[in-house]
Amino acid sequence: GESKGKGFYNRDDKGITPYNLRNCAYINEFAKPKIVWNPVSGEYFFAYSKETMYFNNSLFMITDKQYKENFLLYILGLMNSTLYKFLITQMTNLIETGKYAYGAKEKIEKLPIPKITQEQERAFVNIVEQIIESKAQNAPTNTLESKLDSMVYALYGLNDREIELISTTPPPHEITIALLLIASVESRLLALVTMLCESFELTLKEAFRFCDGLKIPSYRYESKIIYPETTQGVNFMLDKMGYFLDKTAFMIKGENLEYLNAVLASKMSFWYLKQICSTLQADGLSMSKIFVEKLPVIETHKIDSTLLKEIESLASEILESKRQKTQELEQRLDSLIYQLYGLNQNEINIIESELQSRERERENRGN
């Protein structure tokens, strides 16, 4: 309206924006020690500065709220190591013209930062400070950077073969990512496992499908309680076999599941749920998650140990009894189906043998 034609300096609406340019909430961050990088650059780099400096959205920075300069130098060492350079350049798209490395903020935020001791932090800070000083004097830093790489590899427990694959230019992409995933699983580095699985899903699928010599990490199955969203009566099942669910069922994970399942499957819980759950036709219940979570379950540490042990023992006995009875009924049903299709004993043995083999494999994975 009235401001049109006045030019920038003569306008009366300067700074009037939804986010108010005159009130920058993070202006003080620019004065702190910081790690700075350009998301699109002809050269891979993460730089460090103690000076107050302002820049626009073509650069990003990392600061520490508590002015922990040593921790920033540790992060700087990680970011400039060969391993992290490999991760960053592989998890992001490369612009073909000029081969610029794209360090998007949302990608960088996924990178794992291992927890280290104060002694390890001092070692990282020392080597990073030496590299910074040497670069300022235009002195060679190859030896120092190799030492930094070795320290980062040691954090993740990588062996010589994995280090060689990461250091190769260009690296054999699928094999390297797969081996790095295995190393991070064996070292229980969950942040790195999560980042690799989220950022390299298709690559890992190809690697584990076609590459020989990769060992699959063993795992121990954790039990869960399963219950349907809509049901007649109350149906809670303790699953120790690893069944998959669809969206019409819920599950509960955690500790003391045999005790919890016994409480949930009791008449008292049935009566309680009947009072609070939505009632459907033909006495059906809609057992939404929010209703089940309202059940007043007494915590195990508040229960007499003898009573708790008796509840869990009896619950296990009932479950085993039901399992055996179900097996007998299933065997009778299978016999009738075999008879229906006219299978002979040899054909039946083939089916039974293969299914028993798969069941043993599943049980071994759960142990």
Of the residues 107, 137, 156, the one at which a domain ends: 156
Domain count within the chain: 3
Is residue 109 domain-shared with residue 35, that is, in the same domain? yes
Specify the DSSP element, H or E, that contains 40: strand 40-41
Is residue 140 domain-shared with residue 53, that is, in the same domain? yes
0.75 exceeded by pTM? no
Is residue 194 domain-shared with residue 231, that is, in the same domain? no
Is residue 262 domain-shared with residue 201, that is, in the same domain? no
Residue whose C-alpha is closest to residue 73's, from 108, 34, 21: 34
Is residue 20 domain-shared with residue 44, that is, in the same domain? yes
361 within some domain: no
356 within some domain: no
Length of the chain: 367
Is residue 125 domain-shared with residue 196, that is, in the same domain? no
Q: What is the pLDDT along the chain (367 residues), one digit of tens a residue?
A: 444 455 545 555 555 545 444 555 566 777 788 888 877 766 677 888 887 777 666 677 888 765 566 888 998 999 889 888 888 777 665 544 445 555 677 777 778 888 888 899 999 999 999 998 898 888 888 889 999 999 999 888 888 877 887 776 555 567 777 778 888 887 777 888 888 888 787 778 777 765 555 554 455 667 888 888 777 766 788 887 777 776 678 888 888 888 888 888 888 887 877 777 777 665 667 777 788 888 888 888 888 888 888 888 888 888 778 777 777 877 887 787 778 778 888 888 887 877 776 666 655 555 5
306 within some domain: yes
Is residue 251 domain-shared with residue 320, that is, in the same domain? yes
150 within some domain: yes
Q: Please give the residue range of the domain that contains residue 244.
A: 224-341
Single-letter residue type at 99: K
Interatomic CA distance for residues 263 and 3, integer angstroms: 71
Interatomic CA distance for residues 148 and 127, integer angstroms: 7
Of the residues 199, 217, 235, the one at which a domain ends: 217
Helix, strand, coil share (%) of the chain residues, nearest 5:
50, 10, 40
6 within some domain: no
Read off the pLDDT of residues 198-208 as tens digits, 9 standing for 90 and up. Answer: 878 777 877 77
Of the residues 125, 156, 187, the one at which a domain ends: 156
Is residue 139 domain-shared with residue 268, that is, in the same domain? no
Is residue 180 domain-shared with residue 236, that is, in the same domain? no
Is residue 22 domain-shared with residue 102, that is, in the same domain? yes
Residue whose C-alpha is closest to residue 121's, from 79, 77, 71: 71
Is residue 195 domain-shared with residue 319, that is, in the same domain? no
Sheet order of strands, 34-37 included: 47-49, 34-37, 60-62
Is residue 23 domain-shared with residue 148, that is, in the same domain? yes
